[in-house]
Structure 1
Amino acid sequence: MLSRGDLTDDEWAVLEPLLPTSNNRCGRWRDHRQVINGIIHRLSTGCQWRKLPERFGPWQTVHSRHMLWSADGTWERLLQRVQAIADAAGEVDWNVNIDSTSIRAHQHAAGAPKNPPSRPPSASKGATQRSSLARACAPTPVPGGGGAAGEALGRSRGGLTTKVHLSADGRCRPLSLVVTPGQRADCTQFELVMDKIRVPRLGPGRPRRLPDSVGADKAYSNSVIRAYLRRRGIRHVIPEKSDRKAARRKRGSRGGRPAGFDKARYRARNSVERAINKLKQFRAVATRYDKRGYVYLGTVTAAALLIWLRT
């Protein structure tokens, strides 16, 4: 019997052909649908893994599957595949908008070990499997360097925070995601967010990487970003900062022409704000509980996948 939040039959029909069918490291997979429903339950409620209801099976299996799929890019590949299906049906609005949001990290998100053990602490079968999983799920590099910053955790007056940078299509669905420490400036991640837009073709052809237009707020208003977009022939609507306007006017004819600004297009920038609101409906996204940066990125990507499936 399905409960609120579980995959429906239609959603499962989309996901089932895309899921990996074998696991050479640990033998046979446990039922994917049961495990994914457990991950969805944790996404929605933000509960501890060990507090998952028994109907989802062993909580260790659900937790391990989420860690592994976050590490090997399975969540990202599933998201791209669902995006490709929508794009083939003409359901993607390629007027893209970019923004970021700060996420408060729970105290349980701190304290990740700097050097995970590379050898099993004992010869027991369970310890060996846990060590193998730790090696297989070695953290992928995230912007920010080492230490807490290496896990996309930043310190501020309010405590530990993480920032999620994202692009969204015109229908309020995330296209690409990047996580950084909370104090990172938005403009520093613009090119990385743009470069991660990659929607494959169902048939022959290269993945689509360039949107029709890009909208962003004043946080992204600088010459480097504008030059990046011009080189790629992407129309953009980014308001000019008042200090840059004053500097340009002060230089007179040498200051160049003012940046073009389409008010009607800029109003559509609210689609990325609405995409952020959709992501934060998942409590495990709105508050970060994951210690590892790559696991939290997998959590956000899984939430984005559900948004695409359900809209």
Structure 2
Amino acid sequence: MLSRGDLTDGEWAVLEPLLPRSNGRCGRWRDHRQVINGIIHRLSTGCQWRKLPERFGPWQTIHKRHALWSADGTWERLLHHAQAVADAAGDIDWNINVDSTAIRAHQHAAGAPTSPPPALPGASKGGSAKISSHARAHAAAPVPGGGGAAGEALGRSRGGLTTKIHLSADGRCRLLSLVVTAGQRADCTQFEPVIDKIRVPRLGAGRPRRLPDSVGADKAYSNSLIRSYLRRRGIRHVIPEKIDSRTARWRKGSDGGRPPGFDKARYKARNTVERAINKIKQFRAVATRYDKRRYVYLGTVTAAALVVWLRS
């Protein structure tokens, strides 16, 4: 019997064809649906892995499956497929918005080793070398801000350790792309990586869609580099001009150029990204970071975004 929060038959039908049949060791995975339900329970409650209810199976299996899928990109592939299904039905509003949110890290999120793990969970003792090498490369990918705590997307402030999620959301309050950094990273430095990560595949023939119809953002993203980047790609944008930028332009007179266009009605729709942030923060494992490793927390946020897409 399904409990509240478990995958419905319709949601499972979307995910089942994309999941691996074998674990690469002449055996079969434990029931994927049962494991994913356990991961969703942990996402919703933020409980410790070892305190998962017994009906989901051994907590070690669920934890290792989540870590492996976070490292080898499985969660990201599932999210892209859910987006592709919605896009094929014409259900994506491509007037997107960009923003970020700071996440308080629990004290248990600190203390990760300074180097990548020697082997991923489930990849030892004859595991698939192909999956292991790809997953290890994904987990060890360079992160802006250096190694140590910054390399694990942890930053220090007067409030303690924080992580920042930079994201884009469609007009229906669902995440299209996300980047995880240390909490002190400026929003504007991650604008291009967030836009570049938008990739919605086609169910049939054709290239993935990468360009939105328009982009909205607040004054944190108001600088010449971002505006030039959007103009080069032919993307309409609505970003308010900062007062100091406007003053500097006025001071230059005719040499200051024309003011950037601004659509007040379009800018009012920027609340969709705030509502998308609220949706993923309904998952307690997202609202507070408990994961030590950056790639595992990125997988946690991606899995939460996937659930939102499945249930939208």
The Cα offsets for residues 171-190 of structure 1, whole Å up to 9 and x where unpaired, read as: 00000010000000000000
TM-score by length of 1: 0.94
The CA distance in 1 between the partners of 2:126 and 2:102, in whole Å, is: 32
Aligned partners of 1:293 and 1:130: how far apart in 2? 26
The residue that corresponds to 2:293 in the other structure is: 292
| Correspondence list, 1:93-172, <5 A | 93-115=93-115, 118=118, 138=136, 139-141=139-141, 142-172=143-173
Match of 1:237 in 2: 238
Matched, 1:12 2:8: no
Distance 1:129 1:48, change over 3 A: farther
Q: 1:114 Cα deviation (Å)? A: 1.6
Q: What TM-score, normalized by structure 2, do the two folds share?
A: 0.94
Distance verdict in 2 for CA 1:182–1:129, change over 3 Å: farther
Cα distance in 2 for residues equivalent to 1:115 and 1:213: 40
| Counterparts of 1:66 and 1:26, CA distance in 2 | 21
Partner of 2:194: 193
1:15 CA drift (Å): 1.2
Change (3 A) 1:128 1:263: closer
**Residue type of the partner of 1:9?**
D
- Aligned residues, how many? 306
Note closer, same or farther for the CA distance 1:65–1:248 as it changes in structure 2 (3 Å cut): same
Q: Does 1:21 align with 2:21?
A: yes
Instruction: Percent identity, please.
Output: 82
Q: Which residue number in structure 2 is paired with residue 305 of structure 1?
A: 306
Superposed CA RMSD = 2.1
Residue 102 of structure 1 aligns to a residue whose secondary structure is strand
The CA deviation at 1:48 is 0.5
- 2:270 matched residue in structure 1: 269
Q: Which residue of 2 aligns with 1:64?
A: 64
SS in 2 for 1:161: strand
Give the conservation status (yes or no) of the 8 Å contact 1:118–1:131.
no
Tell me the CA shift for residue 115 of structure 1: 3.2
Letter aligned with residue 10 of structure 1: G
- The alpha-carbon deviation at position 117 of structure 1 amounts to 6.0
C-alpha contact 1:117 1:131 (8 A) present in aligned 2? no
Alignment check: 8 A CA contact 2:116 2:140 kept: no
Q: Distance in 2 between matches of 1:197 and 1:220?
A: 18
- In structure 1, list runs of 5 or more residues that go unmatched: 121-125
Q: 1:130: how far off? A: 12
Is 1:219 paired with 2:220? yes
Task: Quote the offset at 1:17 in angstroms.
Answer: 1.4
Q: Give the residue type in structure 1 aligned to 2:151.
A: G
> Following TM superposition, where does structure 1 have runs of at least 4 consecutive aligned residues deviating by more than 3 angstroms?
115-120, 126-133, 135-138
**Alpha carbons 2:25, 2:127 under 8 Å: kept:** no
| 1:200-215 to 2 correspondences below 5 Å | 200-215=201-216
Question: Which residue of 2 is the match for residue 177 of structure 1?
Answer: 178
Match of 2:283? 282
Match in the other structure for 2:35:
35
